[in-house]
Structure 1
Amino acid sequence: MEPKSNHITWHNSNLNRQDRYTRNGHKSCALWFTGLSGSGKSTLAFALEKALFAENVNSYVLDGDNIRHGINRDLGFSQEDRKENIRRIGEVSKLFVDAGMFIIAAFISPSEKDRQTVREMFEPEAFLEIYVKCSLEECERRDPKGLYRKARDGQIPNFTGISAAYDIPENPHIVIDTEHLTIEESTRQLVEHLRDRNYFTTGQAANSPQ
């Protein structure tokens, strides 16, 4: 999306990302959690944040519902609003990564095209798409917010998985099967993935996980 004004100038910082890596003692990355409502994205995101804190890694969670209380409170759930929702979060996530932090973004983000647009905002090693895999049947069985029941009753239009499509990720960096793994197992798998690929060090850029 192009700026609406031509009278703006980009100002470069006197610090680069490697400076921040050295100061923080670790690299930075956007961890993009995508999956159906009820798949466990938010629960896993906050569990991972706590695990990273224990590793002395600076991180922050951007949760779909939380963001709609603030920066995206003006957006609904139409196709265009969902697209703008994801674009904004992609831009915010990019700022966190540039600041030298891990950003954990937990959003249904149903469109493969929109997710790819966000992925292209980042250098390859600075973005990991994480598919939080859980069947629609299991998500409906859990229904922690009662949203599926309301969607089935026609009270919630454009509900992903019921009246709106979800594009299963074509090439995620990591798949976490929360239908069969506990939160503890899922969190441990993510931490080990990051450690094995040297995200918790400050040397050369992390190896591409693809």
Structure 2
Amino acid sequence: MPVRTEPRSGPERRACECGATVWLTGLPSSGKTTIARAAAGHLRGAGRRVEVLDGDELRETLSSGLGFTRADRHTNVQRIGLVAEVLARNGVLVLVPAIAPYADSRQAVRRRHQASHTPYLEVHVATPSSTCSRRDVKGLYAKQAAGELSGLTGVDDPYEAPEAPDLRIPAHVQSVAESVSALLSLLGERRLT
């Protein structure tokens, strides 16, 4: 019987069963969650096992006792990273829209994935703070400007943008569909779809 060498297509094509974590980092209101949820919908429609670990949701549950000091932010990122790595190691494609403002915290998550030979991709949703402030999805920038909030990432608390992410998405100059397409292309290039 001949061996099939061409890629499957149409109804015969099966989704990749390998897991991976895709961490979408960026400022508050940069578009991380919107892109992650849209990409997840597309991937699920193609038969892929996908989970979205939303940073805001996990902050209220998994990390509810933490504040916003540098140490607490690091602990929060490590907790999310652990959950992502366990899921990814078990065949789930995990999309993590979470600010993760510090490069060393993100690097620690990458090292955790490397230790288990689990693919990890870093995507920088590179929306400038001026655009994020105009969007102000959660009202954080308005609260900070009114003096009701301090420690806002990228305003009065540091955000260390990735120097060499696997993908940089300029979400302020392209549509959600274009951003999702770029993310899906990256996954395709890495054979993770």
> Is the structural similarity TM-score above 0.5?
yes
After superposition, residues 1-210 of structure 1 pair within 5 angstroms as 25-123=16-114, 126-200=119-193
SS of alignment partner, residue 122 of structure 1 = helix
Q: Percent identity?
A: 34
Which blocks of at least 5 consecutive residues in structure 2 are unaligned? 1-13
Tell me by how many angstroms 1:69 deviates: 2.1
How many equivalent residue pairs?
A: 178
Alpha-carbon distance in structure 2 between the residues aligned to 1:90 and 1:145: 24
Aligned twin of 2:9 = none
**Structure 1's 60 and 161: CA in aligned 2 closer, same or farther, altered over 3 A?**
same
SS of alignment partner, residue 60 of structure 1 = strand
* TM-score where L is the length of structure 2: 0.88
**Structure 1's 185 and 120: CA in aligned 2 closer, same or farther, altered over 3 A?**
same
Displaced runs of 4+ in structure 1, greater than 3 A? Answer: none
Alpha-carbon distance in structure 1 between the residues aligned to 2:53 and 2:84: 8
SS of alignment partner, residue 30 of structure 2 = coil
**Structure 1's 137 and 25: CA in aligned 2 closer, same or farther, altered over 3 A?**
closer
Alpha-carbon distance in structure 2 between the residues aligned to 1:79 and 1:193: 31
**Structure 1's 25 and 108: CA in aligned 2 closer, same or farther, altered over 3 A?**
closer
Equivalent residue letter for 1:135: P
For each residue in 1:125-146, what CA deviation from the matched residue of structure 2 results, as whole angstroms up to 9, or x when unmatched? 6000000010111111111111
Alpha-carbon distance in structure 1 between the residues aligned to 2:16 and 2:161: 35
Alpha-carbon distance in structure 1 between the residues aligned to 2:82 and 2:190: 25
Tell me by how many angstroms 1:107 deviates: 0.7
For each residue in 1:13-64, what CA deviation from the matched residue of structure 2 results, as whole angstroms up to 9, or x when unmatched? xxxxxxxxxx974321100000000100111111111011012110100111
RMSD: 1.5
Equivalent residue letter for 2:176: I
Which blocks of at least 5 consecutive residues in structure 1 are unaligned? 1-22, 201-210
* TM-score where L is the length of structure 1: 0.81
**Structure 1's 73 and 125: CA in aligned 2 closer, same or farther, altered over 3 A?**
closer
